[in-house]
Amino acid sequence: MSAILVSQEAGVLTVTLNRPEKLNAFNPEMHRELRRALERADDDAEVRALLLTGAGRAFCAGQDLAERDVSPGAAPIDLSVSIGSYYNPLARRLRALPKPIVCAVNGVAAGAGANIALACDLVLAARSASFVQSFSKIGLVPDSGGTYFLPRLVGTARAMGLALLGEKLSAEDAERWGLIWKVVDDENLLPGATTLARALAAGPTKGYGLLKKALYASPGNSLDAQLDLERDLQREAGFSEDYREGVSAFMQKRAPRFKGK
């Protein structure tokens, strides 16, 4: 059985984490398959949006802890190897993908599973889903970008509470706190996320990629630097076919037909 399921329709590459009996916890195989899927999303011009979700009752429980030998006498584990080889490249790849990523959090998202969801562009969660920074429960530090995303999304006070206490945050509170885009009823999660991803896939892909770049660069930039970046990215966007189409469609009072070019 593959650790992920991949399908492509209407410009959307749907990737489903597929270790439901393990709450879709990460193992090296899942990391490798996910990396290949993200490379495909990047390389294939027919793919204009990505949808990430999980099979079964969980979105992802983070690292598969059964893979770590912590028995008495076992050698110390250098976790920087796993973080450097798998989790950091994954968070970077998600952030750098020049196409929109919708994450449909179908159930609990814990540890790296929670933070990988936060690395996506639009996070939708089922009403029954939850987010857990479970790292402190096992003596670890939030990873996969958690210490970067959390304070920026919800402020340091709430980030600290989530990280120190490792308690479940309901999807509704996650939406109220500004951690995610939207909560939807469980039965509407996949249909809603698919509709959203298809709408994005029919949009001005180049412009979306550039706006991701601008927004994600913003927290590290001064206003001056950000204004310069906006100027440069707008220059690039203005050279796109989709910009010409967008303006023409507006002037002609018709719906635009974007090609992602």
Binding site for ligand T3D (CB under 6 A): 22-23, 25, 61-66, 68, 79, 82-83, 87, 108, 110-112, 132, 134-135, 138, 140, 143
Instruction: CB nearer to ligand T3D: give 83 or 249.
Output: 83
Instruction: CB nearer to ligand T3D: give 23 or 129.
Output: 23
Mutual angle of helices 223-238 and 205-217, in 10-degree steps: 170
Query: Could you give the dihedral angle defined by the CA atoms of residues 114, 120, 121 and 125, in that order, rounded to the nearest 10 degrees?
Result: -40
From the list 77, 90, 80, 70, the residue with the least C-alpha distance to 30 is 90
Q: How far is the CB of 133 from ligand T3D (least distance, A)?
A: 9
Q: How far is the CB of 67 from ligand T3D (least distance, A)?
A: 7
Q: How far is the CB of 30 from ligand T3D (least distance, A)?
A: 12
Q: Taking the CA atoms of the chain, what radius of gyration do you get in angstroms?
A: 19
Q: Do 114 and 58 form a contact (C-beta atoms < 8 A)?
A: no
From the list 123, 147, 139, the residue with the least C-alpha distance to 59 is 123
- Amino acid (one-letter) located at 72: P
Instruction: CB nearer to ligand T3D: give 57 or 244.
Output: 57
Q: Do 119 and 91 form a contact (C-beta atoms < 8 A)?
A: yes
Residue nearest to ligand T3D (CB): 62
Question: How many CB atoms lie under 10 A from the CB of residue 256?
Answer: 17
Report how far residue 123's alpha carbon sits from residue 52's, in angstroms, rounded to the nearest whole number. 9
DSSP state of 85: I
Q: How far is the CB of 141 from ligand T3D (least distance, A)?
A: 9
Instruction: CB nearer to ligand T3D: give 143 or 175.
Output: 143
Instruction: CB nearer to ligand T3D: give 97 or 132.
Output: 132
Instruction: CB nearer to ligand T3D: give 77 or 160.
Output: 77
Q: How far is the CB of 144 from ligand T3D (least distance, A)?
A: 7
Q: How far is the CB of 120 from ligand T3D (least distance, A)?
A: 16
Element holding 248 (H helix, E strand): helix 241-251
